[in-house]
């Protein structure tokens, strides 16, 4: 008989709940508060930071800089609708030892995803047991489970980090977008296109970079983004 995984999480009112993970599949864990936070102590080498996903009021906790990069990867993935950090603790039935995945994400098709960051210094045997727990939880709850591999392209990661400040939906503007799609109907340097739009420069730069972040305007993500010379183009072609 398969071992049962249990989940601890907070109710919308903040009460700690504990159920078999198979009974948690309908819970909107991406909307729940953290069930755990890293302890702060003198000499701690990891840096705890907080990431605010676009369009969400709640911040997602990141226990390390690697987790911060993982949060950025979730933010950048179009299929991810919302996510948060540390909303659930998983454990085998009857065990006092639990594991808190780094992130819980909701996808556009309604599926859920656990994303974890495997620290390189963890003992192989310890990680194997954690991986077995995660796989069992995913199977019993119907969740997708992924291990964040880290940035495979340092330049693309740096571009995402730089442009992530323009992720927020408040920067979307349909009228500006229409002009920029016309201006960038053919590839041209970003700064030249902004000038050619004849729109107010500061606001247009921010709105154009939001379109780049949303991939509504395209760039070569494998090359460093330099506004004066990096080419930008619209996938819509000539409007």
Q: Out of 39-48, 113-122, 132-141, 144-153, which region has the weakest mean confidence (pLDDT)?
A: 39-48
User: What pLDDT, in 10s, does the model give residues 134-178?
Assistant: 999 999 999 999 999 887 789 999 999 999 999 999 999 999 999
Q: Out of 14-23, 77-86, 151-160, 217-226, which region has the weakest mean confidence (pLDDT)?
A: 151-160
Q: How far is CA 108 from the centre of its chain?
A: 13
pLDDT at residue 121 above 70?
Answer: no
Continuous segment of H or E residues that includes residue 178: helix 174-183
Q: How far apart are CA 132 and CA 95, in angstroms?
A: 14
Taking Cα atoms as reference points, which of 206, 106, 104 lies closest to residue 164? 206
- Would you tell me how many other CB atoms lie within 10 Å of the CB of residue 171? 19
Q: Which two tokens stand for residue 137?
A: 């939880």
Could you tell me if 223 and 155 are in contact, meaning their C-beta atoms sit under 8 angstroms apart? yes
Q: How far apart are CA 50 and CA 128, in angstroms?
A: 28
User: Which has more confidence, 37 or 125?
Assistant: 37
Strands (E), 11-143: 16-20, 49-51, 60-62, 80-85, 89-92, 103-107, 112-117
pLDDT at residue 238 above 80?
Answer: no
Q: How far apart are CA 182 and CA 109, in angstroms?
A: 32
How confident is the model over 203-215, as a mean pLDDT?
98
Burial of 239 per CB tally in 10 Å (0-12, 13-18, 19+): exposed
Could you tell me if 222 and 156 are in contact, meaning their C-beta atoms sit under 8 angstroms apart? yes
pLDDT for the residue numbered 239:
45
- Side by side, which strands form the sheet with 16-20? 16-20, 5-10, 89-92
Contacts of 69 (CB under 8 A, 6+ apart): 148, 150, 151, 157
Q: How far apart are CA 60 and CA 51, in angstroms?
A: 5
**Whole-structure pTM value:** 0.90
Q: Which two tokens stand for residue 64?
A: 């390390």
pLDDT at residue 130 above 50?
Answer: yes
User: Which has more confidence, 234 or 55?
Assistant: 234
Three-state DSSP at 160 gives helix
pLDDT at residue 22 above 70?
Answer: yes
pLDDT for the residue numbered 226:
97
Confidence band for 9, pLDDT divided at 50, 70 and 90 = very high
User: What pLDDT, in 10s, does the model give residues 74-100?
Assistant: 999 999 999 999 999 999 999 989 999
Mean pLDDT of the chain: 92
Could you tell me if 86 and 35 are in contact, meaning their C-beta atoms sit under 8 angstroms apart? yes
Confidence band for 125, pLDDT divided at 50, 70 and 90 = low
Confidence band for 44, pLDDT divided at 50, 70 and 90 = low
Could you tell me if 5 and 136 are in contact, meaning their C-beta atoms sit under 8 angstroms apart? yes
How confident is the model over 186-193, as a mean pLDDT?
98
Contacts of 199 (CB under 8 A, 6+ apart): 176, 179
pLDDT for the residue numbered 149:
87
User: Which has more confidence, 96 or 188?
Assistant: 188
Could you tell me if 85 and 34 are in contact, meaning their C-beta atoms sit under 8 angstroms apart? yes
Confidence band for 124, pLDDT divided at 50, 70 and 90 = low
pLDDT for the residue numbered 39:
78
Could you tell me if 87 and 10 are in contact, meaning their C-beta atoms sit under 8 angstroms apart? yes
């Amino acid at each position: 008989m398969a071992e049962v995984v249990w989940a601890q999480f907070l109710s919308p009112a903040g009460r700690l709940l504990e159920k078999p993970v198979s009974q948690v599949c309908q819970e909107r864990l991406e909307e729940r508060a953290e069930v755990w936070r890293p302890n702060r102590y003198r000499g701690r080498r990891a840096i705890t930071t907080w990431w605010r996903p676009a369009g969400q009021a709640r911040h997602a906790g990141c226990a390390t800089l690697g987790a911060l990069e993982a949060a950025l990867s979730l933010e950048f993935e179009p299929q991810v609708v919302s996510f948060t950090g540390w909303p659930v603790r998983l454990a085998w039935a009857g065990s006092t030892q639990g594991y808190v995945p780094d992130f819980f994400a909701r996808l556009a098709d309604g599926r859920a995803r656990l994303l974890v960051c495997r620290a390189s210094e963890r003992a192989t045997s310890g990680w194997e047991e954690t991986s077995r727990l995660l796989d069992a939880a995913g199977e019993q709850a119907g969740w997708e489970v992924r291990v964040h591999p880290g940035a495979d392209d340092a330049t693309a990661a740096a571009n995402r980090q730089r442009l992530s400040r323009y992720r927020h939906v408040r920067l979307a503007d349909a009228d500006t977008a229409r002009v920029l799609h016309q201006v960038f109907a053919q590839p041209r340097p970003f700064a030249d296109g902004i000038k050619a739009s004849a729109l107010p420069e500061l606001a247009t730069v921010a709105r154009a970079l939001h379109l780049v972040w949303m991939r509504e305007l395209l760039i070569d993500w494998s090359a460093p983004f330099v506004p004066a010379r990096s080419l930008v183009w619209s996938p819509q072609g000539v409007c």
